[in-house]
Amino acid sequence: MSSRTSSLPLAGLRVVEFTHMVMGPTCGMVLADLGAEVIKVEPIEGDRTRHLLGAGAGFFPMFNRNKKSIAIDLRQSEGQAVARKLALSADVVLQNFKPGTLAKYGLDYAALSAENPRLIYVNHTGFLPGPYEHRTALDEVVQMMGGLAYMTGRPGDPLRAGTSVNDIMGGMFGAIGAMAALLQRGISGRGQEVDSALFENNVFLVGQHMLQYAITGEAAAPMPARISPWGVYDVFTVQGGEQIFLSAVSDVQWQTLCRILDWADLAADPQLASNNDRVRARPTLLPQLRQRLAERSATELAQLCEAHGLPYAPIGRPEQLYDDPHLNASGALADITLPDGERAGQTVRTPLFPLRLAGAHLPVRMDPPAKGAHTDALLQGLGYDAAQIEALRTAAAVA
């Protein structure tokens, strides 16, 4: 184990994950990035996200770095015995199947904790226990029913957020719960079951809008139609059809914006003196600003805002982030080798976990694994000899 690996906070912990898609694998990735040995249990045919097309093409390589892979057929009794022995060797078990699925194989919390009371077991589900718990959930499902799609789209046009926000955050909350349970185990000596769910995660995300209604009695409008709390806080179309986000969220910023753009008349207008004045004036103010900005270039505006400390943003696209100077200079992207598909064996860059410990990013220690890449080594670690491993492989209980 390298010095960097051994210095990571979760080094020495074993995590076994029975997961697929995004939510459960995100939890495993967080724990793996923090140094845990994370073992991904895949079906014999492999995690189906390995071969998704379109928007799913990035799922497996993004959320499965720093993990080992073992392929087990849970439908066979021999495979169930291997999986159970592996799970009982873990500090933490993760799963994101429908409620009751792993109980059929003796891999639920009740069965495993009876033999290993120190075990921490993290369920990633669609809903926490209640009337909805047996529903099939997807990120899009809970965004629609939980108010996020309503808040994201224009009125009458609900729109899902542009990434797997609930899956990713649900996995992160699962990891937070696992780490809290590990701390408590250090005091009590006992593990526990942790539950994280997509729907409740989504409700947490829109909680600020729920509280807005509870406090003011006014329902939150969808974001494109909201009453902004700031006078200037918008995307503007400028020279050549380019777009840029500009804002002035304080009176000082407003005066600065007016000064650098030579808007002395607006700076002196008493009806625009305070932020709340400008909010009230938005129906007439914004058309003026759009007209004045139409002949300025996005590059010029960005340079002026940068020089004077004003918040601004070009309208970026995900693929452009590979060339972002900040991400490249700060080491926020790292190389991984793809394990599957037409580009198997090729190197691409992936975003790292968005924090640093002791002044350094959490590294990629292992590429996303090929299916079953660590099966033999893990079985040997569980006490299986070469003949037993060959017998399991011949029976297609492992791969």
**pLDDT digit string, tens, across residues 204-225:** 999 999 999 999 999 999 999 9
Of 293, 152, 310, nearest to 236 by C-alpha is 293
**Does residue 216 sit within a domain?**
no
Query: Amino acid identity of 94?
Result: L
Tell me the CATH number at 237. Answer: 3.30.1540.10
**Does residue 212 sit within a domain?**
no
Share of the chain above pLDDT 90, in %: 96
Domain final position from 284, 315, 346:
315
Tell me the CATH number at 382. Answer: 3.40.50.10540
Structure tokens at 154: 């224009």
Confidence of residue 227 (pLDDT cuts 50, 70, 90): confident
**At a CB cut-off of 8 Å and minimum separation 6, what does 251 contact?**
273, 274, 275
**pLDDT digit string, tens, across residues 2-59:** 556 668 999 999 999 999 999 999 999 999 999 999 999 999 999 999 999 999 999 9
Q: Do 266 and 201 lie in a common domain?
A: no
- Report the pLDDT value the prediction gives residue 3, as an integer from 0 to 100: 53
Of 24, 31, 38, 29, nearest to 8 by C-alpha is 31
Q: Do 99 and 186 lie in a common domain?
A: yes
Radius of gyration of the chain (CA): 26
**pLDDT digit string, tens, across residues 30-40:** 999 999 999 99
Going across the sheet that includes 232-237, the strands are 232-237, 243-248, 312-314
The C-alpha angle 363, 204, 227, rounded to 5 degrees, equals 110
pTM, two decimals, is 0.94
Q: Do 173 and 297 lie in a common domain?
A: no
Q: Do 193 and 265 lie in a common domain?
A: no
Q: Do 305 and 334 lie in a common domain?
A: no
Domain final position from 290, 315, 340:
315
Q: Do 346 and 278 lie in a common domain?
A: no
Q: Do 63 and 124 lie in a common domain?
A: yes
The C-alpha angle 359, 362, 365, rounded to 5 degrees, equals 135
What does the alpha-carbon distance between residue 266 and residue 163 come to, in Å, rounded to a whole number? 39
Q: Would you say residue 1 has pLDDT above 90?
A: no
**At a CB cut-off of 8 Å and minimum separation 6, what does 286 contact?**
234
Eight-state DSSP code of residue 192:
-
Q: Do 27 and 140 lie in a common domain?
A: yes
Compute CA distances 186 → 11, 39, 182, 191, whole Å.
15, 22, 6, 9
Q: Do 116 and 186 lie in a common domain?
A: yes
Domain final position from 266, 292, 315:
315
What does the alpha-carbon distance between residue 47 and residue 69 come to, in Å, rounded to a whole number? 10
**Average predicted confidence (pLDDT) for the chain:** 96
**Does residue 117 sit within a domain?**
yes
What does the alpha-carbon distance between residue 165 and residue 341 come to, in Å, rounded to a whole number? 25
Q: Do 128 and 38 lie in a common domain?
A: yes
What does the alpha-carbon distance between residue 289 and residue 224 come to, in Å, rounded to a whole number? 18
Count: domains in the chain:
2
**pLDDT digit string, tens, across residues 150-208:** 999 999 999 999 999 999 999 999 999 999 999 999 999 999 999 999 999 999 999 99
**Does residue 217 sit within a domain?**
no
Specify the 3-state DSSP secondary structure of 244.
strand
Partners of 69 in the beta sheet? 40
* Residues of the domain holding 252: 228-315
Q: Do 243 and 174 lie in a common domain?
A: no
Of 88, 128, 78, nearest to 111 by C-alpha is 88
Q: Would you say residue 132 has pLDDT above 80?
A: yes
Q: Do 298 and 372 lie in a common domain?
A: no
